[in-house]
């Protein structure tokens, strides 16, 4: 695949709209409470007939301190004991869910996300992993992708060794920025030394893939300051890098109001940082996968993209296209058969449901045929930057041109702007359009009518 990328500031500014990140289509905005426990059970029954392998997501929401930029689903508390009633409920939910899935469906992928999964003690983590292994069928040859999100401030080398023994083989480290002034402004003081120690421990203990999260767009960041952070990160030689565009939505995430908006970099500075990041990382041999993600060329994500088998779900890009995603814990989102479903958001509701023997699903959506077709196109675009319109039409028994005749006009406009080409029955995203892939996907999003709908999403650039 041609991974060339052209950075055109004028074009990027012109297309700088708000838009979804497409970890699902339809996006969570379309989930409704008409979809509940019964609909979820039905979806599981259908998925059992297909007997696909499983991907498990476990949400551990607690954090010891708050980072002011944070848009994750988290509960801030200094009291470590608060986790134990939640873990009891989580163990119960694991049982309730597992009994609905046919035994023997292999767990190919596991992810513990947060919040901060390592907020809980080693003993609590062991018990949780034992519960998962007792209820689902794990692979015992280290062939599964079993990953965990790590805040380097919340681990010791001994804890990392413990996680490896539990069966994790991938780690994602939150760093964001090493600059002390930025760290102070976002209330996340994290030394280079503790980060390096954590990554070293992961390598020593045989973790086979290391990802690092950075954010651009935080207070006081400049190209020069971010370059220093990036230089340090490159010394760690991570297999993957996520360089997120800071999503500033204080109306949704109140804690973001703790930061003085006057200290946020201007759009022009953000663009300059993005340009620097892309040039630096690609010159260092990383491949731009798409949507904030970079990987080494021999990493499975880059290989999957090259072979046309890359996929995208709630955990971002993935190599596990054929799995049903079973999500456990508050706020978590699952994808089983042709449905998405989300668990309740508060500890109280979660306890109430689970202790009564009910699944904690409170909303979701069952995809229509039109949703599935549009999802297939959006997935192709976001993962492979190319859609074979004739093949897509054939697979879905439609005439692509007729079905998407309204969309053609917008595509033509984008073609005129050099974002994509429409030759030989293919939509091919061009180097100039790769950074605007969200905008191109938005053409196929049937739910994005009017400016109001777009306000719920962060800015594209």
Ligand X SMILES: C[S@@+](CC[C@H](N)C(=O)[O-])C[C@H]1O[C@@H](n2cnc3c(N)ncnc32)[C@H](O)[C@@H]1O
Q: Which partner in ligand X, ligand SF4, none is near 171 (CB below 5 to 8 A by kind)?
A: none
Question: Is residue 342 a contact point for ligand X (CB under 6 A)?
Answer: no
Nearest to 150 by CA among 84, 200, 184: 200
Q: How far apart are alpha carbons 322 and 399 in whole angstroms?
A: 26
Chain residues 210-239 in contact with ligand X, contact rule CB under 6 A: 213, 215
Q: Return all residues near 394 (Cβ < 8 A) that are at least 6 apart.
A: none
Q: Does 151 bind ligand X (CB under 6 A)?
A: yes
Is 74 near ligand SF4 (CB under 6 A)?
yes
Q: Is 63 in the site for ligand SF4 (CB under 6 A)?
A: yes
66 binds, among ligand SF4, ligand X, none (CB under 5 to 8 A by kind): ligand SF4
* 70 part of the interface to ligand SF4, by CB under 6 A: yes
- Site for ligand SF4 (CB under 6 A): which residue of 28, 72, 303, 390? 72
Per CB under 6 A, does 66 bind ligand SF4?
Answer: yes
> Is residue 325 within a helix (H) or strand (E), and if so which, with residue range?
strand 324-328
The answer to the question of residue 249 lying near ligand SF4 (CB under 6 A) is: no
| Size of residue set near ligand SF4 by CB under 6 A | 11
Instruction: Give the integer Cα–Cα distance in Å for 299 and 209.
Output: 8
Q: How far is the CB of 70 from ligand SF4 (least distance, A)?
A: 3
Binding mask 336-375 for ligand SF4 (x = CB under 6 A): ----------------------------------------
SS3 content of the chain, % helix, strand, coil (to 5): 45, 20, 35
Asked if 24 is part of the footprint of ligand SF4 (rule: CB under 6 A), the reply reads no
Determine if 429 is a binding residue for ligand X (CB under 6 A).
Answer: no
Asked if the peptide bond before residue 291 counts as cis, ω within 30 degrees of 0, the response is no
> 189: cis peptide before it, omega within 30°?
no
Tell me if 98 contacts ligand SF4 by CB under 6 A.
no
For the CA atoms of 436, 440, 442, 445, the dihedral, rounded to the nearest 10 degrees, stands at -150
Residue in 86, 146, 207, 244 binding ligand X, rule: CB under 6 A: 244
Distances (CA, A) of 271 to 16, 70, 91, 222: 11, 21, 45, 10
Q: Does residue 317 touch ligand X according to CB under 6 A? A: no
Contact 278/245 with Cβ under 8 angstroms? Answer: no
Task: List the interface residues with ligand X, window 161-220 (CB under 6 A).
Answer: 174, 176, 213, 215
Q: Where are the alpha helices (DSSP H) in 237-296?
A: 267-283
x-marked contacts with ligand SF4 along 110-139 as a string, rule CB under 6 A: ----xxx-----------------------
Q: Among candidates 187, 285, 292, which has minimal Cα distance to 238?
A: 285
- Write down the least CB distance from residue 342 to ligand X, Å: 17
> Whole-number minimum distance, CB 67 to ligand SF4, in Å?
3
Report the residue number, 215 or 420, with the smaller CB distance to ligand X: 215
Angle at 42 between CA 37 and CA 46, to 5 degrees: 145
Task: List Cβ<8 Å contacts ≥24 apart for 39-45.
Answer: 39/339, 39/341, 39/364, 39/366, 40/334, 40/336, 40/339, 40/341, 40/359, 40/361, 40/364, 41/100, 41/359, 43/336, 43/337, 43/338, 43/339, 43/341, 43/366, 44/100, 44/101, 44/336, 44/337, 45/100
Binders in 162-221 for ligand SF4, by CB under 6 A: 174
What distance in Å separates the CA atoms of residue 344 and residue 329, rounded to the nearest whole number? Answer: 9
As a whole number of angstroms, the distance between CA 226 and CA 317 comes to 24
Nearest to 187 by CA among 195, 196, 177, 197: 177
CB of 74 to ligand SF4, least distance (A): 5
145 vs 371 by CB, closer to ligand X: 145
Q: Which is nearer to ligand SF4, 187 or 282 (CB)?
A: 187
Stretch that binds ligand X, among 199-207, 243-251, 431-439, 440-448 (CB under 6 A): 243-251
Per-residue contact track with ligand SF4, 378 to 417, x per CB under 6 A?
A: ----------------------------------------
Site residues for ligand X per CB under 6 A: 63, 69-72, 113-116, 149, 151, 174, 176, 213, 215, 244, 246-247
Site residues for ligand SF4 per CB under 6 A: 63, 66-67, 70, 72, 74, 114-116, 151, 174
């Amino acid at each position: 695949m041609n991974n060339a990328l052209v950075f055109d500031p004028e074009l990027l500014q012109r297309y700088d709209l708000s838009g979804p990140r497409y970890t699902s289509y339809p996006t969570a905005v379309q989930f409704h409470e008409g979809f509940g426990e019964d609909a979820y059970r039905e979806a599981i029954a259908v998925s059992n007939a297909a007997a696909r392998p499983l991907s498990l997501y476990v949400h551990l929401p607690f954090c010891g301190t708050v980072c002011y930029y944070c848009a994750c689903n988290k509960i801030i508390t200094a009291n470590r004991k608060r986790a134990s009633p939640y873990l009891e409920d989580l163990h119960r939910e694991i049982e309730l869910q597992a009994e609905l899935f046919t035994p023997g469906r292999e767990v190919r992928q596991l992810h513990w996300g947060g919040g901060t999964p390592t907020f809980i003690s080693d003993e609590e983590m062991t018990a949780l992993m034992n519960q998962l292994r007792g209820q689902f069928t794990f692979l015992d040859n280290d062939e599964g992708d079993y990953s965990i999100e790590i805040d380097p401030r919340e681990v010791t080398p001994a804890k990392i060794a413990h996680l490896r023994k539990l069966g994790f083989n991938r780690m994602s480290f939150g760093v964001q920025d090493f600059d002390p002034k930025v760290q102070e402004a976002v209330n996340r003081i994290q030394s280079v030394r503790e980060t390096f120690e954590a990554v070293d421990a992961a390598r020593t203990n045989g973790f086979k893939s290391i990802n690092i999260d950075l954010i651009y767009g935080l207070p006081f960041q400049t190209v020069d300051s971010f370059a220093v952070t990036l230089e340090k990160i490159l010394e760690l030689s991570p297999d993957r890098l996520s360089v997120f565009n800071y999503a500033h939505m204080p109306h949704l995430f109140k804690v973001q109001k703790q930061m003085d908006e006057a200290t946020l970099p201007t759009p022009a500075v953000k663009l300059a940082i993005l340009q620097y990041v892309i040039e630096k990382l690609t010159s260092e041999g990383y491949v731009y996968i798409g949507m904030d993600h970079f990987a080494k060329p021999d990493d499975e994500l880059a290989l999957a993209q090259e072979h046309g088998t890359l996929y995208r779900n709630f955990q971002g890009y993935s190599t596990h296209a054929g799995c049903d995603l079973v999500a456990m814990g508050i706020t978590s989102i699952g994808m089983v058969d042709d449905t998405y479903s989300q668990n309740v958001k508060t500890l109280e509701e979660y306890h109430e449901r689970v202790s009564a023997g009910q699944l904690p699903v409170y909303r979701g959506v069952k995809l229509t045929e039109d949703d599935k077709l549009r999802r297939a196109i959006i997935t192709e675009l976001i993962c492979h930057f190319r859609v074979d319109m004739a093949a897509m039409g054939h697979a879905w028994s439609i005439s692509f041109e007729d079905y998407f005749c309204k969309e053609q006009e917008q595509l033509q406009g984008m073609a005129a702007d050099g974002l994509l080409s429409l030759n030989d029955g293919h939509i091919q995203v061009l180097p100039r359009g790769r950074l605007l892939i969200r905008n191109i996907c938005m053409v196929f999003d049937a739910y994005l009518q009017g400016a109001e709908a777009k306000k719920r999403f962060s800015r594209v650039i």
